[in-house]
A and B are shown apart, each in its own frame.
Chain A
Amino acid sequence: MSYKAKFKVWRGEGGEGKLEDFTVEVNEGEVVLDIIHRLQATQAPDLAVRWNCKAGKCGSCSMEINGKPRLGCMTRMSTFTEEETITVTPMRTFPVIKDLVTDVSFNYQKAMEIPSFTPPAGVRPGEYRMQQVDVERSQEFRKCIECFMCNNVCHVIRDHEENKTAFAGPRFLMRIAELDMHPYDVADRQEAAQEEHGLGHCNITKCCTEVCPEHIKITDNALIPMKERVADRKYDPLVWLGNKIFKRSSK
């Protein structure tokens, strides 16, 4: 049942580091995060890794396993052969703090830049009435556990630091879509998505959708519909005229 696996784990802090070799016991049913924990307990007590729930619900243990963004807690060791050397590195798009822990403050900054839920004036708590079918679209996006792997894998920023200021990344473009599709949100979000949050940078390669551990169809259900809404507004003369005549809430 149990065997010794070969691991290469990225270790280092302050911008420097290297892959370190480990040989470590693996037991039936274990996931990569279990192995990282075993390394901590037996060989490298100060090996830094983020984790919380160990059940794929909190999105803390994002890492790159053999080059692919994955949650350590949801990557079973049985998906590798016993001979394989498994390489574990931190997410590449964010600066490394130490070992597998990265500085993900970029994501919190972007979250801050997106105007919050804006209900219409006069609807009191308890008075909201929505149909299941109307909340389901936004509910899909609210399944997001903020592992930030979509932002990590997105090629717009993965190797392009210079794009980070102008691009919110799939996670937060999806947040805009979520609010835009919320039955009670009245803020005008479409122009800002394009002009301020960089929706135009996305060229729908679907890398974000592929890595999403919650299987949210980020590209198909959030980003493409958002792009269509933006395009409709931009090129529809009636909408243009309407915007000029009726001042829409733009806060």
Chain B
Amino acid sequence: MENSPNTERHEYDVVVIGAGGAGLRAAIEARQQGKRTAIVCKSLFGKAHTVMAEGGAAAAMGNVNSDDNWMVHFRDTMRGGKFLNNWRMAELHAKEAPDRVWELEAWGALFDRTKDGKISQRNFGGHEYPRLAHVGDRTGLELIRTLQQRVVALQQEDQETHGDPEAFIKVFAECTVTRLLKDGDAISGAFGYWRETGNFILFDAPAVVLATGGIGKSYVVTSNSWEYTGDGHALALLAGAKLINMEFIQFHPTGMVWPPSVRGILVTESVRGDGGVLRNSKGERFMFDYIPDVFKDKYATTEEEGDRWYTDQANNRRPPELLPRDEVARAINAEVKAGRGSPQGGVFLDVSSRLPAEEIKRRLPSMHHQFKELADVDITTEPMQVGPTCHYIMGGVEVDADTGAAAVPGLFAAGEVSGGMHGSNRLGGNSLSDLLVFGRRAGGGAAAYVDGLAARPAVSPELVEEARAEAIAPLGRGGENPYEVHHELQRTMNELVGIIRKAEEVAEAMEVVEKLKERVRLVGAAGSRIYNPGWHLAIDLRNMVLVSECVAKAALKREESRGGHTRDDFPGMNPAWRRKLLVCSTGDGASVTVEEQEQPPMRDDLIVLFERDELSKYLTDEEMTEFDGISK
């Protein structure tokens, strides 16, 4: 085994880690502001997990219902997150999403249209009006392709101006970052390896934007792709940044449940947005039994009213199938537990009796294709079987809303790896718009930070050497098979820190994770440095275990149920907990500390956008007294 393979070195102003929607939008922004920008991605360019997003990008353009505007979107987002959201992020998101969607159109995106030629918008859970810009059920692919092609367009511009397409923006594909480097408190670069050759690579850069997505690969049943190993979460922690809201994980209500090998693959919420209904084994539309008090007056109480809503939204309330995802996921879980599940352990999702076959194929082409090819099910003639699947983590790097800046100078984060925007539960469609809005802001934040630097932080050769030793270690030792350790982690998190949590189980998970940490330090990878998946997994495991510890520790600490965190032993929402964020950090990189931090109160002009009755369901008495003072 070579001990000191060559480490290539590159200098950039901004290094963006991750090439999904947030990463690409951040990189485009940094480059447009004149910064030399590197995009580092674990996969090939254009393959990021964003391609899996199906339903659409939420933006209050008001193309389908002109009553929609940013304030309605803001309210829906805060409600969806059970008022735990960083309200400034929710405000910026609601205000800027339309511009970000329109901008894509100017870069070549082709969204589905309304009759008058505008961007069409579809209904989705928790959104009061049709709001999601979409392309059939493959909206994420359109986003990625458009941003990817925008990067190429910028490169073509640079070719013309500078004679080198990569003069200002370069993609480092199939390249994984394993450590962030610092000079004193500030970021000075990033260290990683090329998957293809196993050679090491060093980025000398004062600003790093994390856009690495989520953590789903710590769970067995997940809609997430292999890259979702919590890299950015772990890199941030190890660099001294803080993670918030890590206990909140969204279990998407509708994942495939059969065949076993595809269990967890996403079934888009658009199926319900376009009229699909959920039924149990008795044929009952059970969601009517699961409308929580806080949403009682916003959802239909009879099937007739729910059905009328699709054509007349002014005079009817929406069907409860379109409750926020956390509510629907818990309801499905409860039906299955009560013995009213489908033969393969889910519930039935039926669109075949609701729309003509041709319409289903037109609106939901990739769902039609996916079920036909993977499960021999024709969704135009029979119901699907679906159940909850680990889909999204609301928690992530604590950032400044306006700039995406983390607590570590030079470190920025956007998209799923950042925390706060979605509170305790994300609404469908708010992810694609999130990554556009905050991708741009983080790219701009990084560019401004670089402009304001008096001196460029230096890369320390010692830190590079440490990072190199850490990365190469699994190759040199004949330790345990990393796939085994990974499977055990996935089973543990799935079973013990899943959709419904109990103190004893979470505590048990923490013990297992503690032992897994030790095993991760000893895993070994056979084979050479060239494109070696066993080695890559061995390296990723450090991140997965660290992030799982955050999830478990925060889940144990939060003694209430809210959004993507349901405690069997603390079933209700507790207003006192709404003001508290749980913050994860690590001092030594070996173990995680979780501390409470108070959430700043909402700005006066934002809080008055809500009715008193609604607020009283979420806020403490003390906060309500303050509210009464403001709204007078």
Whether the pair B149, A117 counts as a contact (CB closer than 8 A) is yes
From A46, A112, A139, give the contact of B156 (CB < 8 A): A112
How far is A144 from B259 in the complex, measured between Cα atoms in Å? 26
Flag whether B225 is at the interface (Cβ < 8 A): yes
For B51, the chain A residues whose CB sits under 8 A away are 52-53, 57-58, 145
How far is A116 from B374 in the complex, measured between Cα atoms in Å? 35
For B162, the chain A residues whose CB sits under 8 A away are none
Flag whether B527 is at the interface (Cβ < 8 A): yes
Flag whether B448 is at the interface (Cβ < 8 A): no
Flag whether A188 is at the interface (Cβ < 8 A): no
Q: Give chain A interface residues in 104-146, CB to chain B under 8 Å.
A: 104, 108, 111-112, 115-117, 119, 123-126, 128-132, 135, 138-139, 142-146
Interface residues, chain B, with chain A CB atoms under 8 Å away: 43-49, 51-52, 98-99, 102-103, 105-108, 110-113, 116-118, 120, 135-136, 138, 141-142, 145, 149-150, 152-153, 155-156, 165, 196, 225-227, 258-262, 265-266, 366, 369-370, 373-375, 481-484, 487, 525-528, 530-535
Whether the pair B102, A125 counts as a contact (CB closer than 8 A) is yes
For B44, the chain A residues whose CB sits under 8 A away are 50, 60, 104
Whether the pair B259, A30 counts as a contact (CB closer than 8 A) is yes
From A14, A28, A123, give the contact of B260 (CB < 8 A): A28
Whether the pair B46, A146 counts as a contact (CB closer than 8 A) is yes
Whether the pair A45, B156 counts as a contact (CB closer than 8 A) is no
Whether the pair B373, A74 counts as a contact (CB closer than 8 A) is yes
For A59, the chain B residues whose CB sits under 8 A away are 47
Top 6 A-B pairs ranked by shortest CB distance?
A29-B259, A46-B527, A117-B108, A45-B534, A129-B117, A116-B153
Tell me the dominant secondary structure on chain A's binding face: loop
A54/B141 contact (C-beta < 8 A), A98-B530, A98-B531 known:
no
A57/B528 contact (C-beta < 8 A), A112-B152, A117-B153 known:
no
For A40, the chain B residues whose CB sits under 8 A away are 483, 533-534
Whether the pair A46, B526 counts as a contact (CB closer than 8 A) is yes
Whether the pair B110, A55 counts as a contact (CB closer than 8 A) is no
From B111, B149, B484, B528, give the contact of A116 (CB < 8 A): B149
Complex interface bits, A58-75 against B, C-beta within 8 A gives 1, otherwise 0? 111000000000000010
Q: Report the number of A-B residue pairs with Cβ-Cβ less than 8 Å.
A: 179
CB distance from A34 to the nearest CB of B (A): 5
What are 12 A-B interface contacts by the 8 Å CB criterion? Answer: A13-B528, A30-B261, A41-B484, A46-B532, A48-B533, A55-B370, A57-B138, A115-B156, A116-B156, A123-B106, A124-B106, A139-B136
Whether the pair A41, B481 counts as a contact (CB closer than 8 A) is yes
For B52, the chain A residues whose CB sits under 8 A away are 53, 55, 57-58
CB distance from A183 to the nearest CB of B (A): 9
CB distance from B465 to the nearest CB of A (A): 26
Whether the pair B225, A48 counts as a contact (CB closer than 8 A) is no
How far is A55 from B135 in the complex, measured between Cα atoms in Å? 18
Known: A13-B530, A97-B531, A99-B531. 9 other contacts (CB 8 A): A28-B260, A30-B260, A45-B533, A52-B43, A53-B225, A57-B51, A98-B531, A117-B107, A142-B135
For B142, the chain A residues whose CB sits under 8 A away are 142
Closest to A46 in B: B527
From B98, B116, B528, give the contact of A46 (CB < 8 A): B528
For B260, the chain A residues whose CB sits under 8 A away are 27-30
For A30, the chain B residues whose CB sits under 8 A away are 259-261
Closest to A132 in B: B113
For A130, the chain B residues whose CB sits under 8 A away are 110, 113, 117
Flag whether A233 is at the interface (Cβ < 8 A): no
For A56, the chain B residues whose CB sits under 8 A away are 369-370, 373-374
CB distance from A38 to the nearest CB of B (A): 10
How far is A104 from B535 in the complex, measured between Cα atoms in Å? 22
How far is A135 from B109 in the complex, measured between Cα atoms in Å? 10
How far is A27 from B260 in the complex, measured between Cα atoms in Å? 9
For B111, the chain A residues whose CB sits under 8 A away are 135
Flag whether A76 is at the interface (Cβ < 8 A): yes
How far is A182 from B149 in the complex, measured between Cα atoms in Å? 14
For A58, the chain B residues whose CB sits under 8 A away are 43, 47, 51-52, 225
From B103, B110, B530, give the contact of A139 (CB < 8 A): B110
How far is A42 from B103 in the complex, measured between Cα atoms in Å? 48
For B373, the chain A residues whose CB sits under 8 A away are 56, 74, 76
For A104, the chain B residues whose CB sits under 8 A away are 44
From A27, A97, A108, A124, give the contact of B261 (CB < 8 A): A27
Whether the pair A76, B525 counts as a contact (CB closer than 8 A) is no
A142/B265 contact (C-beta < 8 A), A48-B533, A57-B138, A123-B106 known:
no
Whether the pair B152, A116 counts as a contact (CB closer than 8 A) is yes
Whether the pair A55, B266 counts as a contact (CB closer than 8 A) is yes
For B369, the chain A residues whose CB sits under 8 A away are 56, 215
Closest to A35 in B: B261
